[in-house]
Amino acid sequence: MDLGFDPEVAVRRLRRVDPVLAKVIKKAGPFTHRPEKIQSPFQALLRAIVYQQLSGKAAATIFGRVSSLCCPGRARLRPEAILDATEERLRAAGLSRGKILAVKDLAAKTLDGTVPTLARLKKMDDEEIVERLILVRGIGRWSVEMLLMFRLGRPDVLPTTDFGVRTGFMLTYGTAELPNHQQISEHGERWRPYRSVASWYMWRAVDLSRSEGKAKLVLPVASD
């Protein structure tokens, strides 16, 4: 899936408006993130719920079990299948009681239209999407922000509660402690309309500090 903006234009603007961030950009190199393909908001949010507070490997195993249970032989997991699955079978697949309630609610809200279709989602603005999707049990603002950035490729998202972004900000700007929401939001005003790109470089700042110039991917971390 392609970005809906020119990353080179975004990087040039960020370097111009924020000389401190420009130093991180110079070390980290070009903005290389590209959105993952999204089949449907339902599947993306289902995956987000399953993966919450689990390691990638454990979450992938459970997600695979749920998919096999609810849609054997099919490429796309449908909300009807989640609603039809019993709690016992979902528990056997590895979902906690809380996550079962969440995925059932997600399925119901997908069918009643609370969760928009992908076509509709692409026409909605960021805040409208946040307000709609946090109505789903187990989905908070951070999860929607990750959807906006990593699935929809939105350019101007600033996940101020993300631990990686907060840590990168502290490292980049030399704050004595992790910054709060207000500090990042206020500074982030200069990054508009490319706050997603600036956030990506906050994660890269953490990479650089850990590997002394040889960056490796740091995943966003937060909890809804």
Distances (CA, A) of 207 to 87, 180, 212, 217, 218: 40, 21, 8, 7, 6
Share of the chain above pLDDT 70, in %: 92
DSSP state, residue 191 = G
Pick the residue with more confidence: 53 or 154? Answer: 154
- Residues 201-210: tens digit of each pLDDT: 999 999 998 8
Every domain of the chain with CATH number 1.10.1670.40 lies at: 7-35+157-211
Model confidence at 220, pLDDT cuts 50, 70, 90, reads: low
Every domain of the chain with CATH number 1.10.340.30 lies at: 41-150
176/118 Cα distance (integer angstroms)? 42
pLDDT for 214 equals 44
pLDDT for 77 equals 83
What is the mean predicted confidence (pLDDT) over 45-55?
Answer: 87
What is the mean predicted confidence (pLDDT) over 18-41?
Answer: 93
pLDDT for 76 equals 74
**Selecting from 1.10.620.20, 1.10.1670.40, 3.40.50.1820, 3.40.50.150, what CATH number does the domain 7-35+157-211 have?**
1.10.1670.40
187/67 Cα distance (integer angstroms)? 42
Q: Which amino acid is at 94?
A: G
What is the mean predicted confidence (pLDDT) over 82-106?
Answer: 95
pLDDT for 134 equals 97
Share of the chain above pLDDT 90, in %: 76
Enclosing H/E stretch for 44: helix 41-51
Mean pLDDT rounded to a whole number for the chain = 90
63/4 Cα distance (integer angstroms)? 29
Name the one residue in this structure whose structure tokens are 């993306």. Answer: 44
Pick the residue with more confidence: 34 or 109? Answer: 109
132/144 Cα distance (integer angstroms)? 10
- Residues 180-199: tens digit of each pLDDT: 999 999 999 999 999 999 99
Model confidence at 215, pLDDT cuts 50, 70, 90, reads: very low
Sign, CA dihedral 45-168-210-177, equals: negative
Catalytic residue among 18, 162, 207, 224: 162
For this structure, is 162 an active site residue?
Answer: yes
89/93 Cα distance (integer angstroms)? 6
pLDDT for 8 equals 95
Minimum mean pLDDT among 68-82, 149-163, 170-184: which range?
A: 68-82
Does the structure show a pLDDT above 70 at 94?
yes
Does the structure show a pLDDT above 90 at 127?
yes
- Residue 85, phi-psi category: left (phi > 0), alpha (psi -120 to 50), beta (remainder): beta
Does the structure show a pLDDT above 70 at 1?
no
Domain 41-150 has CATH 1.10.340.30: yes
- SS3 assignment for 45-71: HHHHHHHCCCCHHHHHHHHHHHHHHHC
What is the mean predicted confidence (pLDDT) over 64-74?
Answer: 77
